Amino acid sequence: MNIAILIGAALVSLAALTSLVSQRFGAPLLLVFLGIGLLAGEDGLLGIQFDSGSAAYFIGSLALAIILFDSGFETPMRSYRVAAAPALSLATFGVLLTAGATGVAAHFLFGVGWLEAFLLGSIVASTDAAAVFFLLRAGGIRLREKVGSTLEIESGANDPMAIFLTILLIELIAANAGTDALFGFEVLMTFIQQMGLGILFGIVGGFGIAWLLNKLVNLDPGLYPISGLAAALVVFAVCALFGGSGFLAAYVAGVVAGNRKVRFAQRLRRFQVGMTWLAQIGMFLALGLLATPSEFPQILIPALVLSAVLIFVARPVAVWLCLLPFEFKSRETAFTSWVGLRGAVSILLAILPGLAGIENGSFYFNVVFVMVLVSLLVQGWTLQPVAKLLKMSLPSEQGLVDRVELELRGATEMELVGYKIHPDSAIAKGERVPRWARPVMVIRDGLSYSVHTIGPLQANDQVYLFASARRIRLLDQIYASPWDEMATESDIQFRVKGSTKMADLVRQYGLEDIDASEGVTAGQFLERSFSGSPVVGDRVSIGDVDIVVCALDDAGGVGTVGIVIDEEDPGVGALAADLARRAGTRLAGVVRRPKAATATASEISPAKDVGDPS
Confidence at residue 406, expressed as pLDDT on a 0 to 100 scale = 60
Confidence at residue 569, expressed as pLDDT on a 0 to 100 scale = 42
Residue ending a domain, among 484, 504, 525, is 484
Q: CA-to-CA distance for 428 and 416, rounded, in angstroms?
A: 21
Confidence at residue 401, expressed as pLDDT on a 0 to 100 scale = 61
Q: CA-to-CA distance for 102 and 107, rounded, in angstroms?
A: 9
Confidence at residue 475, expressed as pLDDT on a 0 to 100 scale = 78
3 phi, psi to nearest 5 deg: -65, -40
Confidence at residue 117, expressed as pLDDT on a 0 to 100 scale = 95
| Banded model confidence at residue 190, pLDDT cuts 50, 70, 90 | confident
Contact 369, 296 (CB under 8 A): yes
| Banded model confidence at residue 466, pLDDT cuts 50, 70, 90 | confident
| Banded model confidence at residue 298, pLDDT cuts 50, 70, 90 | very high
Q: CA-to-CA distance for 253 and 204, rounded, in angstroms?
A: 8
Residue-wise over 285-315: b if at least 16 C-beta within 10 A, else e?
bbbbbbbebeebeebeebbeebbebbbeebb
Per-residue pLDDT tens digits for 109-123: 999 999 999 999 999
Q: What angle do CA 306, 370, 246 make, to 5 degrees?
A: 95
Distant-in-sequence contacts of 317-322, Cβ < 8 A, 24+ apart: 317/97, 317/101, 318/90, 318/93, 318/94, 318/97, 318/98, 318/101, 319/90, 319/94, 321/93, 321/97, 322/86, 322/89, 322/90, 322/93, 322/94, 322/97
More confident of the two residues 525 and 6: 525
Mean pLDDT of the chain: 78
Give the chain's domain count: 3
Q: Is residue 162 part of a domain?
A: yes
Which CATH number is 505's domain given? 3.30.465.10
Q: Is the pLDDT of residue 73 over 50?
A: yes
Confidence at residue 108, expressed as pLDDT on a 0 to 100 scale = 95
Count of beta carbons in the 10 Å neighbourhood of residue 330: 9
> In this structure, are 508 and 479 located in the same domain?
no
> In this structure, are 157 and 17 located in the same domain?
yes
More confident of the two residues 264 and 418: 418
Q: In what helix (H) or strand (E) does residue 173 lie, and over which residues does it extend?
A: helix 159-174
Q: Is the pLDDT of residue 19 over 70?
A: no
| Banded model confidence at residue 606, pLDDT cuts 50, 70, 90 | very low
Winning range, highest mean pLDDT, from 370-379, 519-528, 556-565: 370-379
More confident of the two residues 95 and 491: 95
| Banded model confidence at residue 516, pLDDT cuts 50, 70, 90 | low
Q: What is the mean pLDDT of residues 407-435?
A: 72
> In this structure, are 283 and 353 located in the same domain?
yes
Pairing label, strands 462-467, 413-420: antiparallel
Q: Is residue 412 part of a domain?
A: yes
Phi-psi region of 327 (alpha: psi -120 to 50; beta: other; left: phi over 0): left
> In this structure, are 100 and 229 located in the same domain?
yes
Q: Is the pLDDT of residue 602 over 50?
A: no
> In this structure, are 313 and 422 located in the same domain?
no
Confidence at residue 122, expressed as pLDDT on a 0 to 100 scale = 94
Average the pLDDT over each of 20-24, 109-113, 557-561 and give the range with the smallest value. 20-24
Q: CA-to-CA distance for 131 and 159, rounded, in angstroms?
A: 13
- Full-model pTM: 0.71
Q: Is the pLDDT of residue 496 over 80?
A: yes
> In this structure, are 155 and 283 located in the same domain?
yes
> Which amino acid is it at 573?
G
Q: Is the pLDDT of residue 573 over 50?
A: no
Confidence at residue 557, expressed as pLDDT on a 0 to 100 scale = 80
User: 3-state DSSP call for residue 464?
Assistant: strand
Which CATH number is 350's domain given? 1.20.1530.20
Q: Is the pLDDT of residue 96 over 50?
A: yes
Q: Is residue 156 part of a domain?
A: yes
Beta bridge partners of 560: 497, 551
> In this structure, are 375 and 511 located in the same domain?
no
Q: Is the pLDDT of residue 184 over 70?
A: no
| Banded model confidence at residue 493, pLDDT cuts 50, 70, 90 | low
| Banded model confidence at residue 570, pLDDT cuts 50, 70, 90 | very low
More confident of the two residues 416 and 95: 95
> In this structure, are 245 and 375 located in the same domain?
yes
Q: Is the pLDDT of residue 311 over 90?
A: yes
Q: What is the mean pLDDT of residues 241-254?
A: 92
More confident of the two residues 288 and 493: 288
Contact 89, 323 (CB under 8 A): yes
Q: Is residue 609 part of a domain?
A: no
Winning range, highest mean pLDDT, from 45-54, 132-141, 233-242, 493-502: 233-242
Residue ending a domain, among 454, 484, 514, is 484
Q: What is the mean pLDDT of residues 242-248?
A: 90
Count of beta carbons in the 10 Å neighbourhood of residue 18: 16
> In this structure, are 434 and 328 located in the same domain?
no
Which CATH number is 432's domain given? 3.30.70.1450
> In this structure, are 242 and 364 located in the same domain?
yes
Confidence at residue 581, expressed as pLDDT on a 0 to 100 scale = 43
> In this structure, are 418 and 545 located in the same domain?
no
Beta strands in 200-290 (DSSP E): none
Residue ending a domain, among 340, 363, 389, is 389
Average the pLDDT over each of 12-16, 83-87, 587-591 and give the range with the smallest value. 587-591
> In this structure, are 155 and 74 located in the same domain?
yes
More confident of the two residues 278 and 108: 108
User: 3-state DSSP call for residue 447?
Assistant: strand
Winning range, highest mean pLDDT, from 88-97, 420-429, 485-494: 88-97
Q: In what helix (H) or strand (E) does residue 350 lie, and over which residues does it extend?
A: helix 344-355
Q: Is residue 603 part of a domain?
A: no
Q: Is residue 289 part of a domain?
A: yes
> Which amino acid is it at 129?
A
Alpha-carbon distances, residue 569 vs 210, 258, 260, 412, 576 (angstroms): 12, 12, 7, 14, 10
The whole domain housing 462 covers 400-484
Residue 527 makes CB contacts below 8 A (sequence gap 6+) with: 533, 534, 557, 558
Q: Is residue 395 part of a domain?
A: no
